[in-house]
Amino acid sequence: MPFSLHGIGVSRGYAIGRTYLLQRNQPEITEYTIPDSIIEDEVERFLNGLALARRQLREVRGRIPIAIPGDAAAFIDTHLLMLEDAALTEAPVDLIRVHKCNAEWALKTQRDFLVRVFEEMDDPYLRTRKDDVDHVVRRVQRILATDDPAYLNDPDYAELIASRLEGRIIVADDLTPADTILMQHQGVLAFVTEYGGPLSHTAILARSLGIPAVVGARNARAYLGNDEPVIVDGRQGVILVGLDERILRYYRHKQHEERRQQRELNKLKDKPAITGDGVTIGLYANIELPEDAAAVREVVADGIGLYRTEFLFMNRSEPPDEEEHLASYLHVIKTLEGSPITIRTADLGADKQVDGGRSGPVSTNPALGLRAIRMCLKDLGMFRPQLRAILRASAHGPVRMMIPMLSAIQEVFQVLRLVAETKQELRDRGLAFDESLPVGGMIEIPAAAVCADQFARYLDFLSIGTNDLIQYSLAIDRVDDEVNYLYDPLHPGVLMLIWNTIRAGRKAGIPVSLCGEMAGDPRYTRLLLGLGLTQFSMHPSNLLEVKRAIQGSEVGALGKIARRLLRTTDAEEYAETLKTIAQN
């Protein structure tokens, strides 16, 4: 009897194959008292467990094939750093000594504390980083659970190597970056996990590795048998079970078609993004980690339109210093070989503590609280090193600086003053920088979009952050599933704000780009062209599809229809006009 399971499609592509159910039982953790005389032995047992976990991860890191993008190593490094951080090395030891409890219990207590801290974070990416805590802690718990003191082999690794995974579809509760790497090594066809979201490591790695993946498929292991033939649709987030020949034929055809299309898209890599009527469009990429820059080169983007530097701040107890910022930026500059790079200053929020242990008051409405540029202007001790590093990086390549979440023009003045001061500081230190470093701002707050003319007067470029712009203009929390259905990029109010920002930039003679998710969705490409957009910035994996939508479109005609769209007050005509644009 055919049926389907649903999750979130996070890495597109179809896989047809047999399941491999990964059942990893976590040891039951109970608390027991350790007699005073052997407390230090317990501490030592814990520290040995940590040391072994580190050795195992280094071993996995050494197995990453060279051809795999930088994400993989970066994720393993993150776990290694966590295993060296005081939050996991010292805090549990204190707990063992103070509470005279066993190592497993101390680790569990500290894990619960850290997970709570991450869960309170506003940023969806940082919130999913609680998975890292879990992955690392689980590894140590499994080591502590074994009786064999000489136990040196990684049990996960041993299981993965022993089981032939080639051509299999992995179904698991959750996968660590280490699992994902080892499995890729073995030629798995797809991943299905019961937990995780689009920003989980499995999702990010699967996309980088080009392996179809569905995450958040609740209870998948309860419904699927081992070695069962299934189809995974990584775009729609569907797992089909109970296949008959007709379904198989249909999906083989789709798989074939998808591969053919990908080959066609790959041919566009070296072609310019020019519309049918000769308008050249800039296609830029969004990155989160310095290692992502390799994927940008792979799709031959015009540069980086959004480098989300807040990822530098994650999983650590202190914010990065100037040299660390600089090293990351230089890595990106070197990889991009002369293409422009837009470095966005930290988009951290009030509840995104840079020091995981120091919890200040949590705002009741963090999206409207002390985040992004507001937080940077309040915490200059954190902001200044980043400003210095961006300026110093500008001596090595075409760098632009971008300010997130501007609401008041005074924020621009403050930043420009700080930039001027920083330049003087660098001159005094005899350090090189680009005297005319372009400083731009993100338009993601409706009030800023309405008076974009003001911002365009003082800034060198604007970039529209539709993820937040939609959130704020439609009053929809972008991370709240309950109101997701109202999240509508095509709402006339949203399009008016986008159009007004583009118009303001054109009037002031400065470039305007759009770097929210909308820019990477080919369904919106022609509409955005019609609204006058000439620069798009998106995840590198979307770039070629957007380029295809650009080629063959007629900006002149699209502009006329878009103006009609913005004028109409008739909902039916609005919907019809949108359709016309999509087909034009």
Q: Which residues are annotated as a binding site for phosphoenolpyruvate?
A: 308, 344, 467-468, 478
Q: For ligand PEP, which is the closer residue by CB, 117 or 306?
A: 306
Shortest approach of ligand PEP to residue 517 CB, angstroms?
7
Q: Which residues contact 454 (CB under 8 A, 6 or more apart)?
A: 409
User: How does DSSP assign 197-240, residue by residue?
Assistant: -TTSHHHHHHHHHT--EEE--TTHHHHPPTT-EEEEETTTTEEE
In angstroms, how far is CA 349 from the centroid of its own chain? 16
According to DSSP, residue 34 is labeled P
Exactly one of 45, 108, 111, 308 binds ligand PEP (CB under 6 A); that residue is: 308
Q: Of 530, 544, 539, whose CA–CA distance to 499 is shortest? A: 530
Exactly one of 42, 292, 347, 351 binds ligand PEP (CB under 6 A); that residue is: 347
Number of residues engaging ligand PEP in binding (CB under 6 A): 10
CB atoms under 10 Å from CB of 366, counted, come to 18
Residue 232: beta bridge partners? Answer: 15, 239
Regarding 541 and contact with ligand PEP (CB under 6 A), the answer is no
429-458 positions binding Mg ion, by CB under 5 A: 444
Regarding 179 and contact with ligand PEP (CB under 6 A), the answer is no
Regarding 466 and contact with ligand PEP (CB under 6 A), the answer is yes
β-sheet with 14-21: strand ranges across = 3-6, 238-241, 229-233, 14-21, 168-172, 190-193, 213-215, 8-11
Number of residues engaging Mg ion in binding (CB under 5 A): 3
Exactly one of 468, 540, 577, 581 binds ligand PEP (CB under 6 A); that residue is: 468
Q: Which residues contact 369 (CB under 8 A, 6 or more apart)?
A: 349, 350, 351, 363
Exactly one of 465, 520, 530, 532 binds Mg ion (CB under 5 A); that residue is: 465
201 a catalytic residue: yes
515 a catalytic residue: yes
Q: What are the Cα distances from residue 41, in Å, to 34, 108, 456?
A: 10, 19, 65
Regarding 288 and contact with ligand PEP (CB under 6 A), the answer is no
Q: What does the alpha-carbon distance between residue 533 and residue 527 come to, in Å, rounded to a whole number?
A: 9
Regarding 444 and contact with ligand PEP (CB under 6 A), the answer is yes
Regarding 489 and contact with ligand PEP (CB under 6 A), the answer is no
Asked whether 16 and 252 are in contact (CB, 8 A), the reply is: yes
Shortest approach of ligand PEP to residue 521 CB, angstroms?
12
Regarding 49 and contact with ligand PEP (CB under 6 A), the answer is no
Q: Which residues contact 550 (CB under 8 A, 6 or more apart)?
A: 273, 274, 275, 281, 283, 525, 529
302 binds, among ligand PEP, Mg ion, none (CB under 5 to 8 A by kind): none
Asked whether 306 and 272 are in contact (CB, 8 A), the reply is: no
Regarding 351 and contact with ligand PEP (CB under 6 A), the answer is no
Residue 401: beta bridge partners? Answer: 343, 439
Q: For ligand PEP, which is the closer residue by CB, 154 or 468?
A: 468
Stretch that binds ligand PEP, among 4-12, 464-472, 484-492, 546-554 (CB under 6 A): 464-472
Q: For Mg ion, which is the closer residue by CB, 368 or 420?
A: 368
466 binds, among Mg ion, ligand PEP, none (CB under 5 to 8 A by kind): ligand PEP
Q: For ligand PEP, which is the closer residue by CB, 99 or 491?
A: 491
Q: What's the sign of the alpha-carbon dihedral 46, 47, 48, 54?
A: positive
Residue of 201, 325, 376, 539 marked catalytic = 201
Regarding 186 and contact with ligand PEP (CB under 6 A), the answer is no
Taking phi over 0 as left and psi of -120 to 50 as alpha, with beta for the rest, 552 belongs to left
According to DSSP, residue 314 is labeled S
351 binds, among ligand PEP, Mg ion, none (CB under 5 to 8 A by kind): none
Regarding 349 and contact with ligand PEP (CB under 6 A), the answer is no
Regarding 516 and contact with ligand PEP (CB under 6 A), the answer is yes
Q: How many CA atoms lie within 13 A of 96 on its CB side?
A: 23
Q: For Mg ion, which is the closer residue by CB, 122 or 468?
A: 468
Per DSSP, which regions of 271-427 are E strands?
282-287, 304-308, 341-344, 399-403
Q: For Mg ion, which is the closer residue by CB, 465 or 530?
A: 465
Asked whether 404 and 515 are in contact (CB, 8 A), the reply is: no
Exactly one of 71, 131, 292, 468 binds Mg ion (CB under 5 A); that residue is: 468
Q: For Mg ion, which is the closer residue by CB, 54 or 308?
A: 308
Binding site for Mg ion (CB under 5 A): 444, 465, 468
Active site (catalytic) residues: 201, 515
Residues that bind ligand PEP (CB under 6 A): 306, 308, 347, 444, 465-468, 515-516
